[in-house]
Amino acid sequence: MPSVLLFWPHTAACAQAACTLALSRKANRPVKLVMTRVEVFRASGPTSATSIDVKIGIKKDGTITAGSAELRYASGPYLSMWAELGAMTSFACYDLKNVRTRGYEVLVNRPKSAAYRAPSAPMAAFAVESVVDELAHKIGMDASDTAQLFFDNVRVPQRNLIGQEGMGFMFQMLQFQEERLWGAASSLRSLDNMIDATIEYTRQRKAFGKSILDNQVVHYRLAELRTEVAALREEVAGLKAKKAAKAPARKTARESS
């Protein structure tokens, strides 16, 4: 089982995840971290404050013709991926020809924000589904209530089995690792842009008759940030190379023939 994990930045849950990883390495087998709902809230978050506007066009027969969503996330003092993931989630469950989503991340002078279990996705999904529910009532198409489904003593034909039996949780965890790798890779350009913008701001800002950039402590902090981003870039490149080496080779059309 791969032992490399990538965590969302600034989350208190990293300690628990690191402990689980250490136990997995020690036992040489998968280790599952089980937390109660209260423990999840204590170990993660707080999530970002959110304001969302949703507009949906619908016909009398229930056909959705268009959807529009504007999402605003308070990300605290750090730029994150809230707007991007929220915009992706908004209408992901619908096959629409006319869709527009706009996401905004607002840097505010408040404590950092972090995910509980799904970064920024629950707010977007809740907003869209709330509007869909209102429209369903308006046109007389009340949706069915959401309920838990339990499958006891259900026999599944062998031909319908996906992957190996009993490995569903492991497959999901492997998907999460790829998702974390994508999240780290997609944040590199934003991190560089933020540092560049900070350098330009400190160069223009004057204090006591000189540029803030001339202060040694500012130089030190900017160099430290550059080093951290460079380390992240090297880590992502190494993980991508390892993943590519483990992936099965794809045959070209000429080789297949």
6-10, 66-70, 242-246, range with greatest mean pLDDT: 66-70
Mean pLDDT of 134-141: 86
Domain ranges of the chain: 1-44, 50-138, 178-246
What pLDDT is attached to residue 69? 95
Tokens coding 223: 């160099």
| Mean pLDDT confidence for 18-29 | 82
- Burial class from Cβ neighbours inside 10 Å (0-12, 13-18, 19+) for residue 129 reads middle
The contacts of residue 77 (CB under 8 Å, 6+ apart) are: 107, 108, 109, 110, 112
Q: Report the pLDDT value the prediction gives residue 144, as an integer from 0 to 100.
A: 64
Long-range contacts of the stretch 48-52 (C-beta < 8 A, 24+): 48/73, 48/74, 48/75, 48/76, 48/80, 48/82, 48/113, 48/120, 49/73, 49/74, 49/113, 50/74, 50/86, 50/120, 50/123, 52/86, 52/123, 52/124, 52/127
Asked whether this chain's domains 50-138 and 178-246 adopt the same fold, the reply is no
Q: Average pLDDT of 97-101?
A: 92
* Closest of 33, 3, 37, 38 to residue 16, by C-alpha: 33
Tens-place pLDDT, residues 215-253: 999 989 999 999 999 999 999 999 888 888 876 655 554
Kindly give, in sequence order, each residue whose CB lies less than 8 Å from that of residue 149, ignoring residues fewer than 6 positions away. Answer: none
pLDDT exceeds 60 at position 27: yes
Closest by CA position to 49, among listed 104, 130, 117? 104
The chain-wide mean pLDDT, for the chain, equals 82
pLDDT at site 1: 35
Please report how many Cα atoms fall inside a 13 Å half-sphere around the Cα of residue 135, on the Cβ side: 20
d(CA 195, CA 226): 8
The amino acid present at 34, given as its one-letter code, is V
Calculate the CA 194 to chain-centre distance.
19
* Whole-angstrom Cα Rg for the chain: 23
pLDDT grade for 130, boundaries at 50, 70 and 90: very high
Task: Band the pLDDT of 151: cuts 50, 70, 90.
Answer: confident
| Residue scoring higher pLDDT (140 or 123) | 123
- Predicted confidence at residue 143, as pLDDT, reads 60
Model confidence band, residue 199 (pLDDT cutoffs 50, 70, 90): very high
What CATH number matches the domain at 178-246, 1.20.140.10, 1.10.10.60, 1.10.287.110, 3.40.50.920? 1.20.140.10
Topology (CATH level 3) of domain 50-138: Aldehyde Oxidoreductase; domain 4 (3.30.365)
- 159 has a pLDDT exceeding 50: yes
Check residue 120 and give its pLDDT: 84
73 φ, ψ (degrees, to nearest 5) = -120, 130
Q: State percent of the chain over pLDDT 90.
A: 26
